[in-house]
Amino acid sequence: MRLFKTDMYNTPDTRNLLDHTRQGVIGKPLDRPEGPLKVSGSATYSAEWKFDNCAEGVLVLSTIAQGTVETIHKQPVLDMPGVLTVLADEAMTRRSTQGTAGEAPVQDVHTVEYFAQPIALVVAENFEQARDAALALKVDYAISDEPIALDPESPDAKVEDPANSEPVKGGDLDQAMRDAAFAVDVEYDTPGHASAAMEPHATIAQWDGDHLVLHGSYQMLSYNVKEIADCLSMSPKKVRIIAPYVGGGFGSKLGITHEAVAAAIAAKELQRPVRVVMTRQHVFQTVMRRSETRQRVRLAADATGKLIGLGHEALVSNLPDEDFAEPVTQATEFLYSGENRLLEVKVARISRMTAGSVRAPGEAVGMQVLEAAMDELAEAVGIDPVELRKRNMPDKVPVEGTPYSSRMLAEALDQGASAFGWDQRYATPCQRREGEWWIGMGMASAARVNMLVDAEARVTLKADGTALVETDQTDIGTGSYAILGQIAGEMLGLPIDRVKVMLGDTSLPAGAGSGGSFGAISTGSAVMRACEDIRKRIAKALGCDAEDLDIKDGVASAGDDSRALTDLLDGKDFAETGSIKPGKTAKDYSQASYGAFFAEVAVNAFTGETRVRRMTGAFGFGRVLNAKTARSQCLGGMVWGIGSALTEELAFDLRDGHLVNHDLAEYHVPAHADVPAIEVILLEERDAAASPLQAKGVGELGICGAAGSIANAIYNACGVRLRSFPMTLDKVIEQLPDPFAKVA
């Protein structure tokens, strides 16, 4: 029997199993096993599967923001070369599905909710024919006579309380602000963001009788199966999704999107495979965005800089009837002290594509603003920004009183500051100049909630002494293949080259999926539990207790008795399915990963251009499962932080609601020239409440606060305190000091 009689994770697992195994693969910076396939072009992504007689579909997007589709003039298009059908089925989706929805999004494409909403699909023998026909398709609309606002700041925008979010209130914040020795009351804004994953959304659909098979690019297959089935009014048991490789997602592929349902409907009508690949412009215009935000932060401190009050209020946006509201204050709730507090989110109902999860929803934009405001408080109090944060670390979560499972923030601040050379920073702005560049340093804390979710995995120890790990967990470039193999190899005492991992197929046990930084720890915990049960069977075969069993390099030992696993298996396979579900530990402890960012920037004294010269990030997230993939995740998050600070924003034309910068030429993600030398420090710890692995999520931690450190560095460099992201040169130049002034 497993130690836990239930799959629910109710009690912290303090056994430290992975610290007592001896294979030595866990935590090591091992290469991703699928890496050679990807760099050689041998890995098959969703649009690349080859099927005979496969037709090609192209989505048709609306040219109005709100109204209804009255007539689609199909016949002229059907007469074009190669065109097979024009679909506008009511089952087609007009919104993206939110992550973990497990049900169909709002359907009926005849009702237009936003500019460029998919309203039809044209299918032809080849892509060029389908594309040309889609562009030629004429559609008549009836414009809505009760329009909703295109801009959340419009006086016509309806503002509501979100459905699934309650304000956090404690004490009297207004009185605390009046009583404070030092107070900051500031307002910041952040723009919308696009996920901008490298691989566009794509699906190939084919039917076998009444069974549907999709080759697609999705992040959470066990939910996606239910969503597709709900859209098509069929049983999830008759849907199979295959997605062994996903070229990035960042939240945009958590739920199904328009091309998947459209391809399935078309394939059924035509009785042949249909491929639908979104163009880059389609992805930007129709797939979920991160909401823009307007945030008010109030900080009240006593004479020593100790917070006595904290307010964080945000306005976000979404379509009408969408439950999701960007959880901007998520980390603010547990990060710093201040019993007098108000944390609240409001949502404006507007006409733009669905707002949903984009990498690190909540903390990604909430932390950068909170950390910029904390820098303003540090200056007002007259103490070092690192010291201010250390001075305001509560023993328990303010107001609710929940204890922390673990908290490496102080260690991250100290080690990051030491490695970066923070003691060389000038406290006063405009003190360092190199030619025409002002030089400055800034820092910020990092925090991201930890989540354990339902997951299953099957592990088979084969008679030949190899192991097979099977789960529908996806790998979106984050390292699932490597990490799950390392966990199994460590637990079963096998070198990594004797462990095979199969992912991304819903015929396999349902993993957690890739999202919310919970994939590795959740599905990894399921793998660990399956391996525990296999270890018990090995121990029984060896005639010892599982606690006394030791396995290394395929040899099982207990006391003086050692036998090869192949001998103990005696021609049989040992297969077990492990599972995990969140339990009491999720409620009994405040669980989060922590870190700290340090950035050095150069700001041009004449143009206002900002260049990030170097960054250091120190992060604590429980056990490090693979040092190479973990570092990669942190580094990638910091790069995204550079984009959030300096370049990335969705720009909408408020005359008709269309997205202006709907491709990678105009939506500016950081390029190689924008990314400096980045140092990542991994702080090992063990968090038994977080997961049986004693690990926490790391995927999104690297972005949470990163942009704030750059904003603070800009101020330290040139004295320009901007409260609007991204901090482009046109904003900086307006407040620059005299470029010919002498440095003090």
Report the catalytic residues.
700
3-class SS of residue 679: strand
Q: Cα(736)–Cα(569) distance, rounded to whole angstroms?
A: 73
Q: Cα(448)–Cα(49) distance, rounded to whole angstroms?
A: 37
Residue with structure tokens 């459209």? 262
Q: Strands 467-470 and 499-502: what pairing?
A: parallel
Buried b (16+ CB within 10 A) or exposed e, 362-397: bbbbbbbbbbbbbbbbbbbbebbbbebbebbbbeeb
3-class SS of residue 505: strand
Rounded (5°) CA angle 523-525-529 = 120
Q: Cα(577)–Cα(193) distance, rounded to whole angstroms?
A: 39
> For residue 400, what are the β-bridge partners?
none
Phi, psi (deg, nearest 5) at residue 493: 65, 45
Angle, helices 258-270/221-232, rounded to nearest 10 degrees: 50
Buried b (16+ CB within 10 A) or exposed e, 568-586: bbeeeebbbbbbbbbbebb
> For residue 206, what are the β-bridge partners?
213
How many angstroms separate the Cα of 692 from the Cα of each of 295, 512, 547, 582?
Answer: 37, 15, 16, 11
Rounded (5°) CA angle 725-250-98 = 100
In one-letter notation, the amino acid at residue 605 is A
Q: Cα(594)–Cα(407) distance, rounded to whole angstroms?
A: 7
Rounded (5°) CA angle 30-640-94 = 105
Q: Examine residue 403 and say whether the peptide bond preceding it is cis (omega within 30 degrees of 0).
A: no
Q: Cα(8)–Cα(75) distance, rounded to whole angstroms?
A: 57
Q: Cα(336)–Cα(409) distance, rounded to whole angstroms?
A: 11
Residue with structure tokens 């924003």? 649
Residue spans of beta strands (DSSP E) within 27-157: 55-61, 67-73, 83-87, 111-112, 118-124, 138-143
Residue with structure tokens 């030092």? 182
**Chain length of the chain:** 744
Residue spans of beta strands (DSSP E) within 23-73: 55-61, 67-73
Buried b (16+ CB within 10 A) or exposed e, 135-147: eebebebeebeee
Q: Give me the half-sphere count of Cα atoms (radius 13 Å) on the Cβ side of residue 427.
A: 10
Residue ranges of the alpha helices (H) in 44-201? 74-78, 127-136, 173-179
